[in-house]
């Protein structure tokens, strides 16, 4: 595991608290926020391009299409919940009928 120097961006091993290049000391996240040092978000160019490529077509959709998509998702979720309830009720009824038929209740 490594940490990156905030001054020179050198990768340094976790066991070291000071940078070998510039001599700056490692600070915790709370100390960085108190000092006003910006936190750096690490990302790869490949993941950024993949996210941009995946999200690009969504910006071309009109509000009416978005409304239809969200409505279809909502109706699908409601239909799934109703279907699960009906299936469970039917299975429960079948098992109760089998228990009565076999004389277990």
Condensed to tens digits (0 to 9), the pLDDT of residues 30-76 reads 566 566 656 566 778 888 888 888 888 877 778 888 899 899 999 99
* pTM, full prediction: 0.40
* Residues contacting 10, CB < 8 A, separation 6+: 4, 19, 20, 21, 22
- The mean pLDDT of 87-96, rounded to a whole number, is 94
Residue with tokens 């050198």: 10
> Model confidence at 103, in pLDDT bands (50, 70, 90)?
confident
Distances (CA, A) of 40 to 5, 31, 43: 11, 14, 10
> Model confidence at 27, in pLDDT bands (50, 70, 90)?
low
What is the pLDDT at residue 46?
85
């Amino acid at each position: 595991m490594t940490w990156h120097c905030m001054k020179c961006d050198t990768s340094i091993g976790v066991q070291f608290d000071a940078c070998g290049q510039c001599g700056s000391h490692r600070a915790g996240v709370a100390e960085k926020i108190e000092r006003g040092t910006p936190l750096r978000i690490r990302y790869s160019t490949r993941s950024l391009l993949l996210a941009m490529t995946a999200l690009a077509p969504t910006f071309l959709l009109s509000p009416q299409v978005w409304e239809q998509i969200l409505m279809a998702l909502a109706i699908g979720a409601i239909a799934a919940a109703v279907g699960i309830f009906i299936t469970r009720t039917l299975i429960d009824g079948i098992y109760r009928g089998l228990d009565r038929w076999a004389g277990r209740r």
